[in-house]
């Protein structure tokens, strides 16, 4: 009975032009789907909706999280009458924007203190400023050269809406006609989100373009011994377009983490294309093109598929155990993309070969008329001889290399975990520069939030608990600057005294502006406390939140009241724990999946051989990360499982060729030598091409993606070394061990007379 690969080979060989037309139609359909992809930012990329903490973060964002756009006004003197008149006009225009709750600056304080009239002289301005509370003025006017305008937005806005508002306000500022010497920049977390989205879009197009350009250079340098050198690049491009199309049709958004999947896929996909192209070239030197194509599809298609499945299992481990939805999307897209890139190589390369009647390049001829020895042939011999030498000294080689892996595993635990969203964008991004300027003046713009649910948030006992917990926490933690809650607001509107009866509370409640109430209360049962804080590092913030969580557990809550930490700072702090808790299990789970897969496929003791190089590579990665000072992020947390996926392809391809040579009657050492010699050159070319593709990540503007690029380049190099150096030693050790066990078993059977 024919295999599916035989049926496929027959179709391509008999009707290559029809298949080519179908592939072009599929590419057009993929382009349509690719046009439907959207950028994805916000908390939805960091938390799972079905987890209690995740659903609380999303609920808080919908019900309470009112972000503010901040305008930074700079000049030689921002307190002159013309600047004040300009800011008053600009604020009026901003207040008319949809979703904007208001606009507040020091100009409003001056107006309020002057009976609602703008001061018109410098002397008048100075007099009013001296009479106003210094705390209020310093927040909005840190100096005579810098002022800030706070623009609060409605609660529950989507990131798309926030970006739209930022763009509208930027347009207003651009055409507002600022006085000479005055500059106005738009900042705040919504502006940061907008800048991050623009940077992601730029990164995506730049990274994919650079990866393709670098790979073109690599292929032309390393794969020039075959005709149509750039065919693998075109094929992998088709695979990437198909992946984009799939994302668009199923509605998977592109986040800052998912972007990095595409250079990964380009790197892996180029290997499939090169493998098929190289095999067809080899077969075509001995057979007609139709036979060469059929032999390649039938004999090589299943072997590459086995490696592709193993690679996919590494990414599936990410999808299942990911610490955040964006990481799960990364694993899922890598899995789907690997399949599409494999199918593109399996279909496009043979079809192209048939349509153009592919003919290999003739061998180089020396001046004396004899065939010359190409550089690749010399490299083939070098690989084979090296593999044979390693296989003869297998155990010492494995022990020596394993020593570095063990050290790396120990050092891996000391690598810092960084979940700071600022590390995902370039340090010179305008929105980032503005945020740092605000932070240097007013401290951190982030707050630590406590969500409170009670039978009634107007109950005197509930308000007293909120007030007491706020005072206790502020007194205990020096890193906190202040606390704002419904209790502190009611106290402020009651002369600094917290009312003790429901009637008093209701009377004061009626005096509080509705916009203020909406910021800190939702209905009659939900409220939040927001602790402002110093500008401190993520590890310090995590330590502070953990300390505050212990205080919350200790601080007795009366029946009907519950309190939990939520918001972005709590979310990122929890993410550090998730990354720490999941990065090793993702790696172990990837090992387990591939181990089970190899046992099922090969059904023998030597099936685990490809895992030995992979385990060493994981350890080496940890050592390199520690030495280079790299950090774990949402992206690099995927490294272990991704390493398993990438490295397993190379090692399985070598094992497949080794088993093929064993079937042909070769002994252990010659079989290893031929396997590495035949496969090693192809994986070296594809591996170095992959390195060029990953090197594009080093040119990203995002520090997190640069970090990821650096370690993945190292990982691919290690994967090559693992396949070419560790794999021959592993095969020799396991095969010798298997032979020893078989001999012992035979000896026992002989003694029993069997």
Q: What pLDDT does residue 591 have?
A: 83
Please indicate whether residue 523 or residue 259 has the higher confidence score (pLDDT): 523
Q: What pLDDT does residue 445 have?
A: 57
3-state DSSP call for residue 530?
Answer: strand
Average pLDDT over residues 576-583: 76
How far is the CA of 283 from the CAs of 51, 54, 380, 711, in angstroms? Answer: 54, 55, 17, 36
Torsions phi, psi of 105, nearest 5?
A: -145, 180
Residue 421 has pLDDT above 70, yes or no: no
User: Rounded to 10 degrees, what is the CA torsion of 430, 434, 435, 437?
Assistant: 140
Beta-bridged to residue 148, according to DSSP, are: 72
Average pLDDT over residues 188-192: 74
Residue 192 has pLDDT above 90, yes or no: no
How many of the other CB atoms lie within 10 Å of CB of 353?
28
Residue 555 has pLDDT above 80, yes or no: yes
Average pLDDT over residues 560-570: 84
Who's near 257: CB < 8 A, 6+ residues apart?
Answer: 45, 324, 326, 327, 329, 330, 634, 635
| The two three-digit tokens of residue 317, written as one number | 């481990």
Average pLDDT over residues 23-41: 86
Residue 437 has pLDDT above 70, yes or no: no
Share of the chain above pLDDT 90, in %: 16
Residues of the chain with CATH 3.30.70: 68-187
Report the b/e string of 536-547 with b at 16+ CB within 10 A: eebeebbebbee
Q: What pLDDT does residue 511 have?
A: 84
pLDDT digits (tens, 9 = 90+) for 320-340: 887 778 788 888 888 899 999
Please indicate whether residue 544 or residue 747 has the higher confidence score (pLDDT): 544
The string of DSSP letters for 229-286 reads: TTHHHHHHHHHHHHHHHHHHHHT--B-TTGGGHHHHHHHHHHHHHHHHHHHHHHHHTT
Q: Is it true that domain 4-40+195-361+374-421+574-746 has CATH number 1.20.1640.10?
A: yes
How many of the other CB atoms lie within 10 Å of CB of 626?
18
Q: What pLDDT does residue 3 have?
A: 85
C-alpha to C-alpha distance for 109 and 147, rounded to whole angstroms: 13
Residue 284 has pLDDT above 80, yes or no: yes
C-alpha to C-alpha distance for 511 and 92, rounded to whole angstroms: 25
Q: What pLDDT does residue 656 have?
A: 82
N- to C-terminal Cα separation, the chain: 38
Q: What pLDDT does residue 16 have?
A: 93
On the CB side of 634, CA atoms within 13 Å amount to 32
Please indicate whether residue 710 or residue 401 has the higher confidence score (pLDDT): 401
3-state DSSP call for residue 549?
Answer: helix
Who's near 719: CB < 8 A, 6+ residues apart?
Answer: 613, 617, 643, 646, 647, 650, 687
pLDDT bucket at 348, cuts 50 / 70 / 90: very high
Please indicate whether residue 121 or residue 696 has the higher confidence score (pLDDT): 121
Average pLDDT over residues 713-731: 88
Residue 443 has pLDDT above 80, yes or no: no
Whether the CB-CB separation of 571 and 315 falls below 8 Å is answered with no
Q: What pLDDT does residue 346 have?
A: 94
Q: What is the CA radius of gyration of the chain?
A: 32
Rounded to the nearest 5 degrees, what angle is found at the Cα of 720, between the Cα atoms of 707 and 207? 35
pLDDT bucket at 353, cuts 50 / 70 / 90: very high
Residue 169 has pLDDT above 80, yes or no: yes
Residue 478 has pLDDT above 90, yes or no: no
Average pLDDT over residues 615-621: 88
The length of the chain, given as a count of residues? 754
Residue with the two structure tokens 């505050």: 548
Average pLDDT over residues 678-688: 78
| The two three-digit tokens of residue 319, written as one number | 């999808």
How many of the other CB atoms lie within 10 Å of CB of 314?
31
pLDDT digits (tens, 9 = 90+) for 518-528: 778 888 899 98
Residue 401 has pLDDT above 80, yes or no: yes
Order across the sheet with 183-187: list the strands: 146-152, 68-74, 183-187
Mean model confidence pLDDT for the chain: 82
| The two three-digit tokens of residue 539, written as one number | 């590890």
C-alpha to C-alpha distance for 299 and 339, rounded to whole angstroms: 19
DSSP state, residue 300: I
On the CB side of 94, CA atoms within 13 Å amount to 31
pLDDT bucket at 140, cuts 50 / 70 / 90: confident
Residues of the chain with CATH 1.20.1640.10: 4-40+195-361+374-421+574-746
Helix/strand/coil (H/E/C) assignment for every residue in 601-617: HHCCHHHHCCHHHHHHH
Average pLDDT over residues 133-159: 77
Average pLDDT over residues 604-622: 84
How many of the other CB atoms lie within 10 Å of CB of 165?
23
Whether the CB-CB separation of 255 and 41 falls below 8 Å is answered with yes
How far is the CA of 4 from the CAs of 272, 336, 716, in angstroms? Answer: 19, 21, 32
Burial of 666 (0-12, 13-18, 19+ CB in 10 A): middle
How far is the CA of 159 from the CAs of 42, 43, 162, 602, in angstroms? Answer: 6, 9, 5, 50
- For domain 68-187, which architecture applies? 2-Layer Sandwich (3.30)
Residue 178 has pLDDT above 60, yes or no: yes
DSSP state, residue 696: G
Residue with the two structure tokens 């393709």: 212
Q: What pLDDT does residue 427 have?
A: 58
The string of DSSP letters for 140-201 reads: H-SBTTEEEEEEEB-TT--HHHHHHHHHHHHHHHHTS-PPTT-EEEEESHHHHHHHHHHHHH
C-alpha to C-alpha distance for 647 and 720, rounded to whole angstroms: 8
Please state which of the ranges 128-137, 306-315, 392-401 shows the lowest mean pLDDT: 128-137
Who's near 659: CB < 8 A, 6+ residues apart?
Answer: none
Share of the chain above pLDDT 70, in %: 87
Strands 68-74 and 146-152: antiparallel
Q: At what angle do helices 668-695 and 189-222 cross, to 10 degrees?
A: 140
Report the b/e string of 189-217 with b at 16+ CB within 10 A: bbbbbbbbbbbbeebbeebbebbbebbbe
DSSP state, residue 372: P
Residue 240 has pLDDT above 80, yes or no: yes
Q: Is the dihedral of CA 590, 596, 599, 600 positive or negative?
A: negative
Torsions phi, psi of 582, nearest 5?
A: -105, -20
Who's near 729: CB < 8 A, 6+ residues apart?
Answer: 390, 391, 393, 394, 395, 397, 398
């Amino acid at each position: 009975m024919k295999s599916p690969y035989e049926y496929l080979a027959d179709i391509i060989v008999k009707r290559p032009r029809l298949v080519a037309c179908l592939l072009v139609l599929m590419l057009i359909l993929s382009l349509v789907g690719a046009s439907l992809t959207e950028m994805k930012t916000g908390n939805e990329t960091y938390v799972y909706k079905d987890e209690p903490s995740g659903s609380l973060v999303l609920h808080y964002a919908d019900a309470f999280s009112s972000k503010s756009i901040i305008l930074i006004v700079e000049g030689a003197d921002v307190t002159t009458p013309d600047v004040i008149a300009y800011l008053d006009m600009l604020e009026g225009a901003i207040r008319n924007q949809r979703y904007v709750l208001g606009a507040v600056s020091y100009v409003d304080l001056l107006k309020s203190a002057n009976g609602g009239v703008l001061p018109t002289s410098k002397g008048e301005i100075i007099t009013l400023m001296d009479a106003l509370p210094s705390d209020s003025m310093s927040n909005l006017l840190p100096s005579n050269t810098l002022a800030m305008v706070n623009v609060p937005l409605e609660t529950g806005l989507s990131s798309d809406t926030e970006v739209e508002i930022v763009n509208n306000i930027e347009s207003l500022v651009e055409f507002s006609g600022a006085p000479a010497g005055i500059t106005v920049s738009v900042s705040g977390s919504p502006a940061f989100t907008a800048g991050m989205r623009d940077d992601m879009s730029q990164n995506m197009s730049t990274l994919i373009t650079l990866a393709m350009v670098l790979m073109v250079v690599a292929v032309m340098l390393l794969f020039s011994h075959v005709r149509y050198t750039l065919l693998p690049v075109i094929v992998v491009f088709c695979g990437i377009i198909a992946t984009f199309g799939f994302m668009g049709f199923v509605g998977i958004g592109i986040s800052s983490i998912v972007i990095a999947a595409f250079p990964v896929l380009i790197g892996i996909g180029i290997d499939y294309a090169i493998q098929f192209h190289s095999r067809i070239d080899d077969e075509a030197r001995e057979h007609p093109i139709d036979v060469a194509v059929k032999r390649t599809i039938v004999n090589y298609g299943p072997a590459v598929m086995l490696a592709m499945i193993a690679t996919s299992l590494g990414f599936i481990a990410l999808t299942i155990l990911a610490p955040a939805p964006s990481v799960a999307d990364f694993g899922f897209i890598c899995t789907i993309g690997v399949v599409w890139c494999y199918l593109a190589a399996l279909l496009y390369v043979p079809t192209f070969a048939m349509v153009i009647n592919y003919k290999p390049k003739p061998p180089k001829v020396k001046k004396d008329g004899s065939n010359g020895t190409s550089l690749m042939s010399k490299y083939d011999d070098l690989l084979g001889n090296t593999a044979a030498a390693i296989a003869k000294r297998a155990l010492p080689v494995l022990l020596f290399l394993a020593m570095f892996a063990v050290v790396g595993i120990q050092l891996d635990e000391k690598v810092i975990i960084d979940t700071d969203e600022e590390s995902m964008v370039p340090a010179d991004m305008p929105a980032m520069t503005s945020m740092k300027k605000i932070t240097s003046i007013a401290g951190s713009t982030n707050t630590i939030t406590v969500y409170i649910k009670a039978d009634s948030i107007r109950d005197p006992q509930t308000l007293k608990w909120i007030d007491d917990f706020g005072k206790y926490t502020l007194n205990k933690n020096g890193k906190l600057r202040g606390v704002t809650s419904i209790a502190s607001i009611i106290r402020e509107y009651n002369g600094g005294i917290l009312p003790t009866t429901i009637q008093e509370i209701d009377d004061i409640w009626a005096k509080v502006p509705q916009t203020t109430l909406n910021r800190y209360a939702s209905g009659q049962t939900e409220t939040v406390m927001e602790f402002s804080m110093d500008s401190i590092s993520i590890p310090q913030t995590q330590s502070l939140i953990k300390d505050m969580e212990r205080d919350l557990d200790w601080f007795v809550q009366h029946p009907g009241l519950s309190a939990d930490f939520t918001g972005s700072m709590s979310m990122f702090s929890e993410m550090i724990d998730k990354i720490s808790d999941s990065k090793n299990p993702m790696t172990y789970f990837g090992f387990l999946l591939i181990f089970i897969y190899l046992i099922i496929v090969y059904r023998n003791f030597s099936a685990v051989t490809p895992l030995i190089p992979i385990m060493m590579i994981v350890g080496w990665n940890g050592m390199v990360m520690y030495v280079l000072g790299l950090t774990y992020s949402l992206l690099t947390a995927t490294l272990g499982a991704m390493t398993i996926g990438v490295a397993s392809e190379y090692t399985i391809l070598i094992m497949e060729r080794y088993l093929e040579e064993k079937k042909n009657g070769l002994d252990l050492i010659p079989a290893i030598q031929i396997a590495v010699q035949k496969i090693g050159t192809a994986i070296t070319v594809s591996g170095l091409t992959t390195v060029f593709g990953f090197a594009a990540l080093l040119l990203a503007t995002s520090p997190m993606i640069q970090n990821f690029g650096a370690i993945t380049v190292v990982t691919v190099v290690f994967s090559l070394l693992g396949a070419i150096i560790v794999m021959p030693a592993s095969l020799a050790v396991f095969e010798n061990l298997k032979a020893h066990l078989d001999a012992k078993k035979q000896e026992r059977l002989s003694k029993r007379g069997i």
